[in-house]
Copies of this chain bind each other. A is one copy, B any other.
């Protein structure tokens, strides 16, 4: 690969900020340069290093391409590295071992239900059908999972695997290593700034800020990379972009925290929209219902509640000690129920708790107790007192709950009780709960080949996208553990499509 590549076509470099041209638009711009210089040329450039970006880069490299992966932050993994490491897959050996019947068809039905009619079913089906091969792909690259499946909210059966590390880092680290070993050119602190396109509109390169120090927008030095087959955008969501998320939902103001890393600012998505990529369901933004108002970001409580508080315990309104929703409903249903506890526009934080048996698998319990975001109580009455809950009412609620578990029938909210336990083994462990902005279901429109489409529905040559930056797959609400499935499956699909693309001569 030559270090400096040139083109015989006429190019126009660096229009001023705000200048933009649409399909067939007439534009005034700076003088054209005849020969744009590429500092280096690759077959495929992947932007972003979460599940989707790593899977795409690895797949592309294994397919024989010269691949560059750029990551703007100082570490690989993106937001994926700090997610809970939960991966929902239909039909794993672990499910079979546990006697759980499952199928892609059943998982697809669960996801369609959660999507509330907005899901782009062909994309969703690809994710589901690809989840088992994607799981096997991770095994080949050294990912380790716990030896049991969990029952996440909205799923009809336990089908969620989890990395032994209980974080997505358990996937992004081995995939990063594998990318390096196989010869993907991996650049940290490299931020995509601009697309370079030829006169037909095809994406043929990127201007990249190398040595970028997030969030200093003028740090680093500019380089221009050419790309023969395509750019794969795997840049994630915009949960940390306050202005843009408030345009879509004015409720998501600065008072609502996000579970995401600080880099989830969405400029990858915005850069595609700005050149005419189709916006799809951008205002479908998911809040994680299992978070704590007592710590920042994803924190320790999210994982505690996901594995212990919700599936093994109950959540109650502190004003009356009563349960108020199915603790295993999908994220949107739970979030809506919790946010419904507002009083005069101010949050009334509910409390979620379980007992000593319920916390057996909760790896973040110890640190949660240490930092005071999870609390331990010998008696239900003590728990009630600590959170200002009427004690009699809470004792009564626990008794009713235990009876429902006994009868395997949640008469109040129809929760599936297959894994539920009676709350009768003190001590009890409790935390306060409030949702945080977690995931952007909406994004840029793609085909089933992960090609980006423009607002007229036309494929944008040389441009692919996968993972959270894309829209439509999950409709109005993504089920837990399905971001990993989406990222890994569609990352590989994007790479396969780019590999098949005709190479432009640069």
Q: Footprint of B on A, CB under 8 Å?
A: 7, 9-32, 36, 117-121, 193-202, 204-205, 207, 224, 243-244, 247-251, 270-271, 273-276, 278-284, 442, 445, 454-458, 460-461, 472
Contact = CB atoms under 8 A, between A and B. Distances in A.
A135 to B, nearest CB: 28
Contact of A274 (B22, B199, B442, B472): B22
A326 B452 CA distance: 43
Residue from A18, A200, A281 with most neighbouring chain B CB atoms (10 Å): A18
A118 to B, nearest CB: 6
A21 B26 contact: no
A25 B197 contact: yes
Contacts of A472: 247, 250
Nearest to A461: B18
Contact of A283 (B119, B204, B282): B282
Contacts of A200: 16, 18-19
A395 to B, nearest CB: 36
Nearest to A284: B283
Given A249-B118, A250-B117, A28 B36 contact: yes
Contacts of A18: 23, 200-202, 276, 454, 458, 460-461
The 8 tightest CB contacts between A and B, nearest first, are: A18-B201, A22-B274, A279-B279, A274-B276, A20-B275, A19-B201, A270-B455, A28-B198
Given A18-B458, A118-B249, 13 more contacts: A10-B31, A14-B24, A15-B26, A20-B276, A25-B196, A26-B224, A28-B204, A118-B251, A120-B250, A244-B455, A247-B445, A248-B281, A273-B273
A199 B29 contact: yes
B457 A243 contact: yes
A195 B26 contact: yes
A80 B21 CA distance: 30
A30 B29 CA distance: 11
Given A200-B16, A276-B273, A283-B118, A26 B207 contact: yes
B16 A248 contact: no
Nearest to A9: B28
A233 to B, nearest CB: 13
A221 to B, nearest CB: 16
A119 to B, nearest CB: 7
Contact of A199 (B7, B15, B199, B251): B15
B10 A26 contact: no
A329 to B, nearest CB: 19
B244 A457 contact: yes
Contacts of A274: 22-23, 25, 275-276, 454-455
Contacts of A27: 11-13, 15, 21, 29, 196-197
A433 B22 CA distance: 41
For A118, A279, A454, A461, the residue with the greatest tally of chain B CB atoms inside 10 Å of its CB is: A279
A247 B280 contact: yes
Contacts of A23: 17-20, 274
22 contacts: A10-B31, A12-B26, A13-B26, A14-B24, A15-B21, A15-B26, A15-B199, A18-B202, A18-B276, A18-B460, A19-B200, A20-B201, A21-B21, A21-B197, A26-B207, A28-B36, A29-B29, A243-B457, A247-B280, A247-B445, A279-B279, A283-B284
